[in-house]
Chains A and B, each alone.
Chain A
Amino acid sequence: MLQREYKTTIWRYVRIWFLNLRASIKKSNTYKGEIFVRFFRTFFILGIQVLLLTLVFGNSEVYVGWTKAEAYLVMGIWNLLNYFGWAFFGINLERLESRVLSGEFDFTLLKPLSSAWFSSFYDFSVYSVISSLSGFVLVGYYFFITWGTLSLTNVLLGVAGIIVGLLFWYAFYLLLSSFTLANPRNGFLALVKEILGLAKYPVNIYSSSIQMVFFTILPIAFVTTVPASLIIGRMGYAFLIIGTGLAILFVRLSYWVWKQNVKKYVSAGG
């Protein structure tokens, strides 16, 4: 099916996103109990992650070249990206399969907007923002522990690194979920979740050949390890520049693959 292209400014997209956000916030008020459950779950997750890292470290001060506070930082960044990613686009791309199977995706194609953008950002999960608290706590703990030695430049570089990480996260999600359009029920989204799950720990736990893959073909090292290393001061501008370039490339690639899959979409439903 050919998709009609419309000339729209970025402000139109921003306006639509804010309208969707307002609707999502209103919707989330329906089940107030859910907010309580999410809070409870957030602290449970936090407890388990702290326990896991405590056990992984044992009596050792350093694990694969990372101190405990640095490992908390990596896990905290992962939590932030995971739950913010889910809040912004993950929830929508997860629903893509049911929209394709029910034929609802046809309406998306009729809208005067980019179908990839609309399919990614039409809803916002307020509940996932609550879960991201676990990320703030872990990253905050690292800042608290290393407050005296923190450098503002490194922190700013790290924040830029986290934004680049979110771009990678989005590119992976969009790339693999786009295949749902041509071939629904393919399970690729479950695969991308587990692949990104590997970034929960510093890439140094993997063998050197796997690390090479994680910096090149499947650059999940740029998701958490690189931003954390930028904050710590272990990596410099070069990694941020390479990461930004790769992230833009991956986002462009995923949009291109999306368009190819839209062409294969036959609107047959399930």
Chain B
Amino acid sequence: MKEKINQKSNFKNILKRITKMFFAQEFMHKEQLIVWIIADIVKMAGLCFVWSASAKITGNMDQGYVITYYVLMILVSKLMQDITPANGVQQILNGKFSNSLLKPMSYLTEYLGSNLGSNLFRLIVSVPAFVLGMYITSRLGFWIVDFNPYLIFLGLIAVAIGFLINFLLGNIFALIAFYNKNMEGMRIFYNNIAATFSGEYIPFVALPLLALFTVQVLPFRYTLSFPIEILLGRMTNYDLGVGFIIGTIWLIALYVLYLVLFKISIKKYAAEGI
């Protein structure tokens, strides 16, 4: 089955419409989303306690750094989320993926729009929690970010690169569903790997040198930790440069890898639906 290639002008319009549609869809279930965000905050608050207690005892890192790191994560993580490992995989497994292939646009446009719509809504809902977190940490004297416009600009570029890397990783992972019909365990495992190496559970400032080098080379760091590290303002120009170069290389490499793997994998699609 050949995927139809959309024109450039259409792409923008379609993406805008899908984004709007998913924004409205998320709004429809806003209570659920608010509770999810509260759940997310509970998780980050817990990690904040774990690492700040560790910083206090070991003295290996600055307490303010780890606390601000997790407060910033409330906001940044909302911009990075990709629903493809759940929804995309499900569509391939239940055969609904056929519909996407018949549409006069790439299915990636649809997935991208759905991510943008839901992430935008999640971001808006998370702002009050972020402001509250910032207020509390400032009052306690732990807030270390001074909102430098240059760093915010760089942070936003890193967010865009990180989101696209996460999106491509999710879509490459979803291709496994063409071969394997039970994806539940693999999906959970993928989420575990992505969360661990993105810096969600362990802030990279706590890692020893060798482990730090490993996570810096892997793509997952750029899907969460890197933009936060930029906003924290403790990176040298050299580290910033290296980070952006590695992130961009991953972005290009994953895009090429996706194109190749999709071309091979789509031939296996039988649209049987289970």
Any A CB within 8 A of the CB of B53: yes
Q: A199 to nearest B CB, angstroms?
A: 9
> What residues on A are CB-neighbors of B46 within 8 Å?
194, 197-198, 200-201
Are A63 and B53 in contact, CB atoms less than 8 angstroms apart?
A: yes
Q: A99 to nearest B CB, angstroms?
A: 17
> What residues on A are CB-neighbors of B43 within 8 Å?
194, 197
Report the count of interface residues on B (CB-CB < 8 A). 38
Are A60 and B57 in contact, CB atoms less than 8 angstroms apart?
A: yes
Any B CB within 8 A of the CB of A31: yes
Q: A153 to nearest B CB, angstroms?
A: 31
Tell me the residues in window 11-61 of chain A with beta carbons closer than 8 Å to chain B beta carbons: 30-31, 33-34, 37-38, 40-41, 44-45, 48, 51-52, 55-60
> What residues on A are CB-neighbors of B50 within 8 Å?
56, 201, 205
Please report the C-alpha to C-alpha distance between residue A193 and residue B109 in the assembled complex, in whole angstroms.
33
With both beta carbons as reference points, the residue of chain A lying nearest to B186 in the complex is identified as A37
A37-B189, A56-B54 in contact; A191/B182 too (CB < 8 A)? Answer: no
Are B58 and A59 in contact, CB atoms less than 8 angstroms apart?
A: yes
Are B201 and A48 in contact, CB atoms less than 8 angstroms apart?
A: yes
Any A CB within 8 A of the CB of B245: no
Q: B94 to nearest A CB, angstroms?
A: 13
Tell me the residues in window 178-217 of chain A with beta carbons closer than 8 Å to chain B beta carbons: 183, 185-188, 190-191, 193-195, 197-198, 200-201, 205-206
A34-B185, A58-B54, A198-B46 in contact; A191/B192 too (CB < 8 A)? Answer: no
> What residues on B are CB-neighbors of A266 within 8 Å?
none
> What residues on A are CB-neighbors of B185 within 8 Å?
34, 37-38, 41, 127
A31-B182, A41-B189, A52-B202 in contact; A205/B39 too (CB < 8 A)? Answer: no
Are B192 and A205 in contact, CB atoms less than 8 angstroms apart?
A: no
Any A CB within 8 A of the CB of B105: no
Tell me the residues in window 11-55 of chain B with beta carbons closer than 8 Å to chain A beta carbons: 29, 31-36, 38-40, 42-43, 46, 49-51, 53-54
Please report the C-alpha to C-alpha distance between residue A66 and residue B139 in the assembled complex, in whole angstroms.
29
> What residues on A are CB-neighbors of B38 within 8 Å?
191
Are B189 and A205 in contact, CB atoms less than 8 angstroms apart?
A: no
Tell me the residues in window 224-266 of chain A with beta carbons closer than 8 Å to chain B beta carbons: none
Are B57 and A58 in contact, CB atoms less than 8 angstroms apart?
A: yes
Please report the C-alpha to C-alpha distance between residue A59 and residue B58 in the assembled complex, in whole angstroms.
7
Report the count of interface residues on A (CB-CB < 8 A). 39
A45-B192, A52-B201 in contact; A190/B54 too (CB < 8 A)? Answer: no
With both beta carbons as reference points, the residue of chain B lying nearest to A56 in the complex is identified as B54
> What residues on A are CB-neighbors of B207 within 8 Å?
55
> What residues on A are CB-neighbors of B34 within 8 Å?
187
A44-B192, A198-B46 in contact; A186/B181 too (CB < 8 A)? Answer: no
Any A CB within 8 A of the CB of B206: yes
Are A187 and B36 in contact, CB atoms less than 8 angstroms apart?
A: yes
> What residues on A are CB-neighbors of B39 within 8 Å?
187, 190-191, 193-194
Contact of A31 (CB < 8 Å), options: B53, B54, B181, B201:
B181
With both beta carbons as reference points, the residue of chain A lying nearest to B193 in the complex is identified as A44
With both beta carbons as reference points, the residue of chain B lying nearest to A127 in the complex is identified as B185
> What residues on B are CB-neighbors of A63 within 8 Å?
53-54, 57
Please report the C-alpha to C-alpha distance between residue A201 and residue B38 in the assembled complex, in whole angstroms.
20
> What residues on A are CB-neighbors of B91 within 8 Å?
none
Please report the C-alpha to C-alpha distance between residue A48 and residue B198 in the assembled complex, in whole angstroms.
13
Please report the C-alpha to C-alpha distance between residue A225 and residue B95 in the assembled complex, in whole angstroms.
46
Any A CB within 8 A of the CB of B265: no
Tell me the residues in window 131-173 of chain A with beta carbons closer than 8 Å to chain B beta carbons: none
Known pairs A60-B57, A190-B35. 10 more at Cβ < 8 A?
Answer: A34-B182, A44-B193, A51-B211, A62-B57, A185-B32, A187-B34, A190-B39, A191-B42, A198-B46, A205-B53
Interchain Cβ contacts under 8 Å between A and B, 20 examples? A30-B182, A31-B181, A31-B182, A33-B180, A33-B182, A37-B186, A52-B202, A55-B206, A56-B206, A59-B58, A64-B57, A186-B35, A187-B32, A187-B34, A187-B35, A194-B42, A194-B46, A197-B43, A198-B46, A201-B50
A residues within 8 Å of B by Cβ?
A: 30-31, 33-34, 37-38, 40-41, 44-45, 48, 51-52, 55-60, 62-64, 127, 183, 185-188, 190-191, 193-195, 197-198, 200-201, 205-206
